[in-house]
Amino acid sequence: MGCDAARSSGGVDLKGPYIQGPPGGRFIYLSWGTIDDDKRFTLFRRAKLWLDAIPPSVIEGALVSGLLVGRLGLTDRKGNPLCAAVRPPLIEWSAVAEGPATDSAGDC
């Protein structure tokens, strides 16, 4: 997933087709659902991956490397799909050198 990064008075603002919310309150939805025989998606749960929880040093590294990666487990303590607000330690953000994504849960 691509996005644009712009410096602002509050740090770095990330924008893109899957990034939602106002500056300082941006997030990406991780949506859980089913697809029926007619290829219709029915949502049953979703999580908000909060971008304001990304450490500034990681954002700066991502501006240099060109890739921001969020790694997270996809289930909660009960084994259900992860939902609600997702911030560290439930997600680990890192900046990596640009290249083919292998096992990233979300990249920007």
Q: How far apart are CA 107 and CA 23, in angstroms?
A: 19
What are the tens digits of pLDDT across the range 82-104? 999 999 999 999 998 765 554 44
Say what the pTM is.
Answer: 0.81
Q: How far apart are CA 25 and CA 58, in angstroms?
A: 17
End-to-end CA distance of the chain: 5
The whole-angstrom distance between residue 89's C-alpha and the CA centroid of its chain comes to 14
* Domain layout of the chain by residue ranges: 4-100
What are the tens digits of pLDDT across the range 5-43? 988 887 899 999 999 999 989 999 999 999 999 999 999
Q: Is the pLDDT of residue 71 over 70?
A: yes
User: For residues 56 and 44, is the Cβ–Cβ distance under 8 A?
Assistant: no
Q: Is the pLDDT of residue 51 over 50?
A: yes
User: For residues 24 and 51, is the Cβ–Cβ distance under 8 A?
Assistant: no
